[in-house]
Amino acid sequence: MIHRHKGLGLTTKTLCLTLAVMGLILSVIITLSESYKQLHEQTRNLATSEMESLMTSVRLVQQSESLGNLGVRLTSATTHSARRRALIDLTDRMTWVGQLTNRLARQGGEPELIEQVRQTLHQLEQNTAELNLSVSERIDGNTDPGLQRHIEALSSNNRELSGQLGVLVGYFSANTRRQMVSQSEMLASDIQTQRYNLIALSLVVLLFALLTGIYFEFRIVRRILHLERTVRSPKVDIDAFDTLGGDEISRLSKTVRSYVQRIQSHEAQMRKAHQEMTYLAEHDTLTGLANRRHFQAAARRLLRESRQPLCIAIGDLDYFKRINDRYGHAAGDQVLVDLARLLEKGIRESDVLARFGGEEFAFILPVGSLEDAQKVIEKLRTRLAEHSIAAAPNQSIHLSMSFGLALVDASNLEQPLDDQRLETLLDSALRAADEALYSAKHNGRNQVELAPETLYANAI
């Protein structure tokens, strides 16, 4: 960070220099006064309208570049929930692009280019609405090949429109930067011209002019160029702004720094909120385990990729209602948390564990046979039965769980399962494991029951 002492503003210092020159030659005072005024106006114009236009165009480029990826998310959505989230994100981003475009128009941007951006954005909004309806029909089960071709055509058109929008906005941003560089060069050129004019003056005026030129070089030009380089940097460093001092450039730096901080803060908040939402969407808030949605996604992936059978297991805590009735729901929740930790420690690294709801937990075990899975679950059941959990101060209880296991074999398929057959196979496995769990409960609890038959993907 550049440190400067607070002092008089540039206008006051300029006036002092002008009065000093007036004592030497009146003509020089008039020339310098006009020059200072011109430089001041150029600096103000560079620091206000051009800088705001540049910041707005940079943000517009960033927002436009993300529209293509959001369009792909909408196209690839397989559930209404995923479709709505993608549509919300895409709509918010297009709204933000529209607001930034209007801001550029108010700042005096190129009318023809801004109108092209608006037209492209309008086409993208219409295309997105039509794409959303088509994707919704597909999710609802419409398998018409014409619908899929229509979705692909809309998606391709979306990418083209996003690309066009990015090119238009990128051109505007590049043009704004070129204008700022040109004005900076003109500003430096004007200062250099005034320096040459002062050479022709008397020795006293020459000395004074030299000191004046040095002053403006270090106190204005270099600070402006430094501000320009800081803003043009791909990753803006907040600490690089010259914010100490009371002159116009320092105040400008404070304003720009404040804008950049707000932008970076908002981006960080958005990233954090997105990460939190993504985590909460696939994890149980009480135990931190995966939830049913994550479990089913993992099961679908393993059924497609696994080269060995999979065991789908469902475990249910025995007599959990008694714990809630005796110790209260808060204690019951703590028991579930402790139970989740025990279950995590008892499974293998390749296994998947999820909480299905209440006191019911589900497992995915890549195994060679149902007997191998039974050994893993039986070991887990025994370990749990031998372990006590604190349900209240100075009170501990022994828990037991009942398990139902079903084996699914999709390892010998010549072609991958389509989505519908995959869902049918997974539902059948969960139903078979649930029926085995019911048998374990009916036969006395605290035991492992196996489904009678292996579910083969070829039979689906």
Does 19 share its domain with 48? yes
Q: Do 295 and 356 touch, CB atoms closer than 8 A?
A: yes
Does 322 share its domain with 255? no
Residue 4 maps to a domain: no
Q: What DSSP designation does 457 have?
A: G
Distances (CA, A) of 124 to 83, 155, 157: 17, 10, 8
Cα dihedral 376→382→384→387 (10° resolution): -140
Residue 336 maps to a domain: yes
Residue 286 maps to a domain: no
| Structure-token match 């009735």, residue found | 325
- What are 254's two structure tokens? 């404070």
CA gap 306, 354 in Å, rounded: 19
- Looking at 278, 310, 344, the residue that finishes a domain is 278
Does 371 share its domain with 241? no
Does 159 share its domain with 119? yes
CA gap 225, 237 in Å, rounded: 15
- Looking at 229, 248, 278, the residue that finishes a domain is 278
Residue 287 maps to a domain: no
Q: Do 389 and 335 touch, CB atoms closer than 8 A?
A: yes
Residue 2 maps to a domain: no
Residue 5 maps to a domain: no
- Give pTM, 2 decimals: 0.45
CA gap 460, 454 in Å, rounded: 12
Percent over 90 (pLDDT), the chain: 18
- Looking at 253, 278, 303, the residue that finishes a domain is 278
pLDDT digits (tens, 9 = 90+) for 58-80: 666 666 666 667 667 767 777 87
Residue 284 maps to a domain: no
- Enclosing domain of residue 255: 10-278
Does 393 share its domain with 261? no
pLDDT digits (tens, 9 = 90+) for 190-210: 777 766 766 666 677 777 777
Residue 1 maps to a domain: no
Does 262 share its domain with 336? no
The identity of residue 88, as a single letter, is: I
Percent over 70 (pLDDT), the chain: 76
Does 251 share its domain with 385? no
Closest CA relative to residue 229, chosen from 277, 188, 162, 180: 180
CA gap 154, 130 in Å, rounded: 8
Does 243 share its domain with 363? no
Burial 42-80 (b: 16+ CB within 10 A, else e): bbeebbeebbbbbbbbbbbbbbbebbbebbebbbebeee
- Number of structural domains (the chain) is 2
CA gap 308, 370 in Å, rounded: 11
Does 96 share its domain with 25? yes
Q: Do 405 and 313 touch, CB atoms closer than 8 A?
A: yes
Cα dihedral 271→275→280→285 (10° resolution): -100
Does 220 share its domain with 86? yes
pLDDT digits (tens, 9 = 90+) for 206-218: 777 777 778 777 7
pLDDT digits (tens, 9 = 90+) for 267-296: 777 777 676 676 666 788 888 898 999 999
Does 333 share its domain with 254? no
Work out whether strand 401-409 and strand 448-450 pair parallel, antiparallel, or are unpaired. parallel
CA gap 329, 125 in Å, rounded: 49
Does 266 share its domain with 317? no
CATH number at 425 reads: 3.30.70.270
pLDDT digits (tens, 9 = 90+) for 391-415: 667 777 888 999 999 999 887 766 6
